[in-house]
Structure 1
C-alpha cells in the first residue's frame, strides 16, 4: 500500500516539478547571462553552469524518465538504445551539477580564506576552464553505464526500457565501478562541501572578531565595515546554495550509505529511496529561487523581464 501511495505521489510530483523547474532555470540562465546582477564574472560563470546542468537534469532525469515511462510508456524515448543514451546523459549531468556546486563552494572558500591565491584562482578564465573540465570528465566517467544496460521488455520486436544487466550485480569490475561512482557522487562532494563551509564559517567568525576590535564601538553601535558588507551578499548566496544542496541530498545519501553498509538489503524501504530521489531532484529548482530571495538585482531583472511584455503590448496598442 505504501509503494502504491508513493507511486501516486510521484505521478503528480514529477510533472509539477518539471513544469516549475524547467522555466525557472531558463529564466535564471537568461537573467544571469545578461550580467546585470551585480555579481563577479567568476560567480556568474558558476551560477550559469549550475543552472544549465540543473535544467538538463530535469529534462533527462524527470521528463524523459518517470514522466515518459508513466504517461508515454511506448514512446520513442522508451526504446532501449535511446533510454541507454539518456541514462549516460542523466548520470553525467547529475554528476556535473553536483561537482559544479562543490567547485563554486571551493571558489568562495578561496575568495574568503586564501588572500594570496584568490587573485589567480577566482577569475572568469579559471571558472570557465573548471566548468568544461568537470563536464567532460563527468561525461566520460558515465559512458560505461551504456554497456551495463539491457532491454527491460520487448514490444512488437522493439526492445524497450532500461534494466541493469545481471553482470552489473555479479561482476567485480562493475562492483568497483559502482563503488567509484558512489564515492564520486555524492559522498566526496557531500564531505567536501561540509568541510569548505565549516572552514569558511570559521574564517568569517575570526575576521569578524578582529575587525570589531580594530574598529571599536561608537555611541550608535558597531561601525560598518565596507569589506564585510561587500562579502555579505556572496556569503549568503554561498550558504544558501550549499545548505539547500546538503539538506535535500541528505536523505538520498543516508539511504545509499545504509544500503551499501548493511547486509540486510531487503529491510531497506523503497519508499525511503523514492523520497530521497524526489528531494534530490527538487534541488534542481532551488538555486533559482535562492537568487530571487537573496539577490536584489536579480529580483529587479526578473521584474523588468515580467514588465517587458506589458510595456511592449501597450506600445503596440498605442502604435
Structure 2
C-alpha cells in the first residue's frame, strides 16, 4: 500500500501537476509521454484504492471468519492478492493511452494531450468511463462500508458476549485488554472508511452530475466552475492516497514508538555530546 501510494504521489502529483506546469517545453509535454503518464496515474490510483479494499477484506476475515483466518491471513495470500490487483488494473487501464490526442503538432512532433471528442460520444468510451468510475470509487465505497459495518457489528456482539460471560452487563471493564483492542479496531475502521468516503465524495459527485446532465467543462476556461470542481475532486482524491497509509501506520504502537525514537534521537545525541564535552 505504501509503495503504491508513493507511486501516486510521484506520477500524479510531482510529475503530472508540478513538473508538467513548471517545465512547459520539456519532453513531458510530448503526447506519447503524457498518455503513458495518464495510464500510470490511473493504474496507481486504482491499485491504491483496491489494496485498501483488500486490506479491509483481510481485517474482516481476521476478525469475523475464524475458520477462514488461518488459511487466508498469510503472507503468501497477501502477495498473491497484491500481484493480482496490480495485473488486473494494469491491463484495465491500457485503453486510457488511446483516449488522448495531441493538442497541436509542431515539426511533426505531437505536443500536449487532451481527451478525444469521441471519448464523450462513442458508446465504447462511455461504457469504459462508467466502468472506470464503478470500479473506482463506487464499488470500493460499497465494499468498504459493508465490510466495516459487518466487522463493527461482530466486534460489538463479541463485546456484549464477553461482558455477559464476565458478569458485567451493566458495567464496562476498561482494564480488559481484549476489549481495548477491539475498541481500537473499531476506531481504526471508522477512520479508514470515513477518510476514504469523505475525500472521494467530491470526485464521485462531480462525475455523476456531469455524466447524468451531460455537461462538461471547457479545458481552456480556467474559471469554469466545472473545471474548478473537477480539480478540487482530484485534489481530495489524491490526498486520499496518502491518508490511509498514515492512519494505519500511526495506529500501530510499534510505529509510534519508532517515530518517537527517531524524533528524540537528535536531541539525545546533542545531550550526549554536551555531557561528553563537560566531562572531558
TM-score (norm 1): 0.75
Aligned to 1:67: 18
Superposed counterparts of 1:1-319, under 5 Å: 50-155=1-106, 157-217=108-168, 222=173, 224-264=175-215, 269-291=226-248, 293-308=250-265
1:251 CA drift (Å)? 1.5
Q: Is the 8 A contact 1:151 1:160 kept in 2?
A: yes
Question: Where in structure 1 do 4 or more consecutive aligned residues deviate above 6 Å?
Answer: 310-318
What SS does structure 1 have at the residue aligned with 2:33? helix
What SS does structure 2 have at the residue aligned with 1:73? coil
Q: Is the 8 A contact 1:216 1:222 kept in 2?
A: no
1:268 CA drift (Å)? 7.1
What SS does structure 2 have at the residue aligned with 1:101? helix
Structure 2: distance between partners of 1:229 and 1:216: 18
Q: Is the 8 A contact 1:78 1:161 kept in 2?
A: yes
Aligned to 1:41: none
- Structure 1, residues 168-225: CA drift from partner, whole Å, max 9, x if none? 2232222222221121111111111111111112212222222111111399852744
Q: Is the 8 A contact 1:237 1:294 kept in 2?
A: yes
- Per mean C-alpha deviation after superposition, the further-off stretch among 142-151 and 167-176 is 167-176
What SS does structure 2 have at the residue aligned with 1:222? coil
Name which one, 1 or 2, has greater alpha-carbon Rg: 2
Unaligned residue ranges in structure 1 (runs of 5+): 1-49
Structure 1: distance between partners of 2:173 and 2:268: 45
What SS does structure 2 have at the residue aligned with 1:154? strand
Structure 1: distance between partners of 2:270 and 2:30: 44
Aligned residues: 270
- Structure 1, residues 255-280: CA drift from partner, whole Å, max 9, x if none? 21222222455797332222211111
- Structure 1, residues 93-145: CA drift from partner, whole Å, max 9, x if none? 10000101111111111112211111111111111110111011111101111
Aligned to 2:221: none
What SS does structure 1 have at the residue aligned with 2:105? strand
Unaligned residue ranges in structure 2 (runs of 5+): 218-223
Aligned to 2:220: none
- Per mean C-alpha deviation after superposition, the further-off stretch among 77-86 and 161-170 is 161-170
- Per mean C-alpha deviation after superposition, the further-off stretch among 188-197 and 203-212 is 203-212
Q: Is the 8 A contact 2:118 2:125 kept in 1?
A: yes
